[in-house]
Structure 1
């Protein structure tokens, strides 16, 4: 079934495409830029930040919190190990459980990227105002929640 769009909706669609082409697809680069200076993706930095914030954190803890597969986090951990930003150490109570820790260079990189990210976000708040930033974040959360709910419902009805 093909639905015809009203002229107003066609114009909104074109405007959405233009916003995507001129702005949204660059937002990820803008957000992740502080981490790329250190050879990291933003996801890898977030893992470093989680390790810095917590004393006992494992790969499985991070995967569970982010609602992603163990292998997805494992690939990120591998890069962090290769950069010598983290190391793994068995838990005292269960030697099979490996806790993640920052190396000295990992501590420095995490701290620097945190400072850069915080400064960048503070600039956004200063430029746009706290209320507008909250409105944008609320909209994105609502949009994401609704779209994921619709996506999951359509997947279930197609099974």
Structure 2
């Protein structure tokens, strides 16, 4: 049985060798288009919702509107999305994909799906589900409990 010091050292080693690289691994399909994975996820949300606004995305992701606004500015600058006012309330701005945005979102989505399928192929569906369940459990019991 490993001591708590050995477990800590292994956790630090895994963090340094693997977990720090996980973000890059996950973000790689979006990087070709100079987007973060979070920006891609917003693009994906806009692609999959007919009427979506900045505040809807912020609420769904449980982050501030200003955090989403910063991400949306990048998507607007790249001309992947545009905003259109609600004809019944001009203050409400709906987000839409441009033609380029549709193509970019579709390509990144295909690459993300392919990358994830490769991960499942390596571990098998049962092990992949166990890993995801563990991460979800860790988030709920450790991360979210620390936020209280």
Confirm or deny a common fold (TM above 0.5): yes
TM-score range, shorter chain: over 0.9
C-alpha offsets along residues 56-114 of structure 1, whole Å, 9 cap, x if unaligned? 00000000110100000000000000000000001122111000000011001000000
- Structure number with greater Rg is 1
- Among 104, 110, 133, the alignment partner of 1:138 is 133
- Give a deviation string over 1:112-153, Cα, whole Å, max 9, x none: 000000000000111110011110111001101112342133
* Whole-angstrom CA distance in 2 between matches of 1:55 and 1:93: 16
Work out whether 1:100 is the aligned partner of 2:118.
no
Q: Secondary structure at the match of 2:83?
A: strand
Counterpart of 2:83 in structure 1 is: 88
Match of 2:46 among 41, 44, 51: 51
- 1:151 counterpart = 2:146: yes
Gaps of 5+ in 2: none
Name the counterpart of 2:5. Answer: 10
Q: What is residue 4 of structure 1 aligned with on the other side?
A: none
Equivalence for 1:61: 56
Match of 2:28 in 1: 33
For residues 51 and 130 of structure 1, what CA distance do their matches in structure 2 show? 29
2:95 & 2:27 partners in 1: Cα distance?
22
1:129 to 124, 140, 146: 124
Per the normalisation by structure 2, the TM-score is 0.96
RMSD over aligned CA atoms reads 1.3
Match of 1:3 in 2: none
Across the two proteins, how many residue pairs are aligned to each other?
148
Structure 1, unmatched stretches of 5+, are 1-6, 154-159
